[in-house]
Amino acid sequence: MKLLRLLAPIGLLISSAVHAGGTLDLSINDSMAGLDYDATRMGSPMHVTAGFLHHEDDGDLMSFGLNAVDVRSQQSSLRIGVGGKVYGYFTDANDSGALAIGGFARYMPPELNGLGFGGHVYYAPSVLSFSTTENLVDVGARVEFMLLPTAMVYLGYRFVEANDEKGDIEVVNAGHFGLRINF
């Protein structure tokens, strides 16, 4: 029931906006699967994101975010976005969440023939954390290779940890393989 209460507002926000395109990102390893959706708001630099990650041992992580992305040059090899995400995590030890601020960057210069690098950092201090969460950090890095103009594969690493009254809750600490499709 908690999951439904979180998904309903996210679905309404995503469906009510007119989008010019976006990406669908699937990441996996032996014990984890993640799905992220990013949509570009038509006529603005606003990106709306929604994600779900399931780890067999550590629990589930949901996120919803808004990022402003630099759109001065669509042909630039560097793409930067800043904004925030609302996180909800559900583990055996705790169900809680946080509002984190941060951003992402992707660098894919033409001289590397489809090879690129990306990463993100989001942090929520105690003032932006809910329930028993004292802070939350989400850090990720990846090496990408463009197979087609609309599809790329990547190897990445993601670390998500929350700190609460009882100690550290490691939600995700894993390397993964992924596929990102642009539409």
2-182 under CATH 2.40.160, yes or no:
yes
- Nearest-angstrom CA–CA distance, 173 and 157: 8
Q: Is the pLDDT of residue 132 over 60?
A: yes
pLDDT in tens, 27-49: 999 999 999 999 987 677 889 99
- CB neighbours of 41 closer than 8 A, spacing ≥ 6? 17, 18, 19, 20, 47, 48
Pick the residue with more confidence: 113 or 9? 113
Strand partners, 49: 38, 65
Domain limits of the chain?
2-182
- Nearest-angstrom CA–CA distance, 23 and 26: 10
pLDDT in tens, 82-111: 999 999 988 887 788 999 999 999 999 999
Contact 46, 68 (CB under 8 A): yes
Q: Is the pLDDT of residue 11 over 60?
A: no
- Nearest-angstrom CA–CA distance, 124 and 79: 23
Q: Per mean pLDDT, which range of 19-23, 74-78, 147-151, 174-178 is the poorest?
A: 19-23
- Nearest-angstrom CA–CA distance, 122 and 126: 14
Query: Which H/E stretch holds residue 100?
Result: strand 95-107
- Map tokens 């998500």 to a residue: 160
Residue 34, token pair as written in the block: 């993640």
Average pLDDT value for the chain: 86
Of 86, 97, 8, the closest CA to residue 49 belongs to 86
- Nearest-angstrom CA–CA distance, 104 and 66: 12
Contact 90, 108 (CB under 8 A): no
Q: Which amino acid is at 88?
A: G
